Amino acid sequence: MAERVWDKFLTEQDKAHLAASPHHRIGFGKRPALLLVDFYRGVFGDKPEPLLEGIKTWPGSCGMVAWDSIPHLQAMLSAARDADMPIVHVTVVNDVTDGVDIWMATRTGSAQDLPKEEQEQRLRGWQIIDEVAPLPGEGVLRKTAASAFYGTPLAAHLNYLDVDTLIVLGESTSGCLRASVVDAAANRYRVIVVEECTFDRHEAPHAINLFDMDQKYADVLPLAEVVEWIAEWKAEKEKEAIHD
């Protein structure tokens, strides 16, 4: 595999240890689903802007890395939809009108205490962006904590669909994506993270968290490899349908 995003952050001892320790892949199962975590307006902003400009209007902005991910996200969605794969979108609960506390309240303040204009922006901020908006029939869940599993019916939904493999796209790599991946692994799913379909506002945490997930909880794979596997899975599924 080509150079990975985390390679430049590893020490010589890290590299020596990796070379001496065989890394076993988790691999894909037979019944995958696609999970998209937190592709909401607040991390993109209204237009492509560098991080330090974006945060002036949207404090949760991830800057250009968010916008740069959109073609990759669309490619993954297109591949999954073409293969008729189950898809679940997850965003944050509407804490403005629902009166539900979210874990970020300790940092951002309660939505109920904000001026009306800021409440309206916050409400819009949790909306999934149009570029990756759910289609009819795709699951949409809202969460109150970092993990897509905590306090949601996600596991029950996936179990109902008999899913054994979760292909995960999301942000931020060091936050909600990681929390969701760890919980997915704890729930005994095979977890695949698509590298180009993840991002974080800080480069080093992004890279090192991908590395850590790849070492412990998931296979972090390039987009092209995952899309190729989906095409093969679709072909195999169609072949089985012919013989049934």
CATH number at residue 148: 3.40.50.850
Q: Is residue 212 one of the residues assigned to a domain?
A: yes
Q: Is residue 87 one of the residues assigned to a domain?
A: yes
Report the pLDDT value the prediction gives residue 109, as an integer from 0 to 100. 57
Rounded to 10°, the helix 178-186/203-216 angle is: 10
Report the pLDDT value the prediction gives residue 110, as an integer from 0 to 100. 58
Structural contact between residues 181 and 168, judged by C-beta atoms closer than 8 angstroms: yes
Q: What distances in angstroms separate CA 206 from CA 19, 68, 195, 199, 213, one per listed residue? A: 22, 15, 10, 6, 11
Q: Is residue 3 one of the residues assigned to a domain?
A: no
Structural contact between residues 153 and 143, judged by C-beta atoms closer than 8 angstroms: no
Q: Is residue 150 one of the residues assigned to a domain?
A: yes
List strands edge to edge, sheet with 87-92: 139-143, 87-92, 32-37, 165-171, 190-199, 219-221
Tell me which residue range forms the domain holding 207.
Answer: 9-243
Report the pLDDT value the prediction gives residue 93, as an integer from 0 to 100. 85
Q: Is residue 2 one of the residues assigned to a domain?
A: no
Q: Is residue 51 one of the residues assigned to a domain?
A: yes
C-alpha 171/C-alpha 193 separation (Å) is 11
Q: Is residue 1 one of the residues assigned to a domain?
A: no
Per-residue model confidence as pLDDT tens for the chain (244 residues) = 578 999 999 999 999 999 999 888 999 999 999 999 999 999 999 999 999 999 999 999 999 999 999 999 999 999 999 999 999 999 998 764 555 555 555 555 555 566 566 666 777 888 999 999 999 999 999 998 999 999 999 999 999 999 999 999 999 999 999 999 999 999 999 999 999 999 999 999 999 999 999 999 999 999 999 999 999 999 999 998 887 6
Report the pLDDT value the prediction gives residue 3, as an integer from 0 to 100. 87
Report the pLDDT value the prediction gives residue 97, as an integer from 0 to 100. 56
Q: Which amino acid is at 186?
A: A
Report the pLDDT value the prediction gives residue 224, as an integer from 0 to 100. 98
Q: How many domains does the chain have?
A: 1
- 197: enclosing H helix or E strand: strand 190-199
Report the pLDDT value the prediction gives residue 119, as an integer from 0 to 100. 61
Q: What distances in angstroms separate CA 153 from CA 2, 147, 159, 200, one per listed residue? A: 37, 12, 10, 26
Q: Is residue 84 one of the residues assigned to a domain?
A: yes
Report the pLDDT value the prediction gives residue 115, as an integer from 0 to 100. 59
C-alpha 225/C-alpha 232 separation (Å) is 11
Of 43, 176, 179, 184, which one is the catalytic site residue?
176
176 included as an active-site residue: yes
